[in-house]
Structure 1
Amino acid sequence: MTIAFEHGIELPQPPHQVFALLADYSKVPLWLKRCEGVAKASSGPNKVGDKLRYAYCESGRHGLMDGVITAYDQDRHMAYRYFDKMMAVVVEFHMEPSGEGTRLTHLIDITPHSFMAKLMSPVFKMKLPKQTIQTTENIRDLLAKEAVSL
């Protein structure tokens, strides 16, 4: 059983600015509040197949998830798959031109694997919409702050 939620917003920035923010792993903790950091195992430009490590803190519990870039279409689409012994999480961002700005769609899909994660599924399902909406609003706010500082 997977738990999924998708949310879209309109942003005044063009797709290349939105994509650049999302592709900068050093900035992920600025818009994803439970994230303590994302590190890429290799150097160079991001590409499909690159390995990632995601550090997080959820309800006071620190953890790590391994990940991989599964889609990377410049200024249009990026996707990741993160996994640990408890679950697999697919994270996607779609960017479409919308007037002078961007229509950003953010999708999260969680597949619980462990017995404990399966027991927690109702909690994940309840929290996922609010967390996904808050994440997109954080992205909006960060883009606005970056525009002011230019």
Structure 2
Amino acid sequence: MTLRAEYAFDLPVAPKEAFAWLSDPARDPEWQSACVDTRLLNGAARPGCRYEITFQLIGKKMTFTVEITEFEPGRRSRFHVVDGPFGYTGTYDYTERADGTTGVHWTFDVEPGDFFGIMPKSLLKKVLVSQVKKDSGKLAERLAQPAHHRS
């Protein structure tokens, strides 16, 4: 069974800068609180790039090998699991707002199988959306700072 979680949020930067933050796996630990570590396996982020990512979520540590399948700067990024405890596909779609900021639509299709035990799928979806809501809010606050304070 596939579960879809989605959330829309705004970032106070142009789409190319939003894309640079959200679509580079090496930056995930900087803004995703559940992300423990990432390691690029075959070069910089681009279509076909694979990376290893480790999360700590709901008391479980999980490591996945993920491949970037779409990488259109300022427009769209998409990735999917090639190896891990369960499968997922994630997408970020970017829209430039009239004021130059970026609207981001995040979707996450996950096939958790029995990994989370008897946890209801509706609770898992709520946890995923809550995490992205919190992390994207912190990233928006960070990006609202002058550029020399962001790094």
Q: Which category of TM-score, normalised to the shorter sequence, fits these structures?
A: 0.7 to 0.9
Q: Which amino acid aligns with 2:105?
A: T
Q: What TM-score do you get using the length of structure 1 for normalisation?
A: 0.84
Q: 1:94 — aligned with what?
A: 93
Q: What TM-score do you get using the length of structure 2 for normalisation?
A: 0.83
Greater mean alpha carbon deviation, residues 17-26 or residues 117-126: 117-126
Q: Determine which structure has the larger helix proportion and give its number.
A: 1
Greater mean alpha carbon deviation, residues 9-18 or residues 70-79: 9-18
Q: Deviations over 1:71-128 (max 9, x none)?
A: 1111111111125554212121111111111111111121123x34463334313322
Q: Distance in 2 between matches of 1:6 and 1:125?
A: 9
Q: Distance in 2 between matches of 1:146 and 1:37?
A: 26
Q: Does 1:133 align with 2:126?
A: no
SS at match of 2:144: helix
SS at match of 1:119: coil
What count of residue pairs does the alignment treat as equivalent?
148
Residue 13 of structure 1 deviates from its aligned partner by 0.9
Structure 1: give runs of 5+ residues left out of the alignment.
none
Residue 132 of structure 1 deviates from its aligned partner by 2.4
Residue 27 of structure 1 deviates from its aligned partner by 2.2
Q: 1:65 — aligned with what?
A: 64
Residue 138 of structure 1 deviates from its aligned partner by 2.5
Percent identity, aligned pairs only? 20
Give yes or no for contact 1:50–1:68 (8 Å, CA) kept in 2. Answer: yes
Q: Distance in 2 between matches of 1:126 and 1:91?
A: 16
Q: Does 1:38 align with 2:18?
A: no
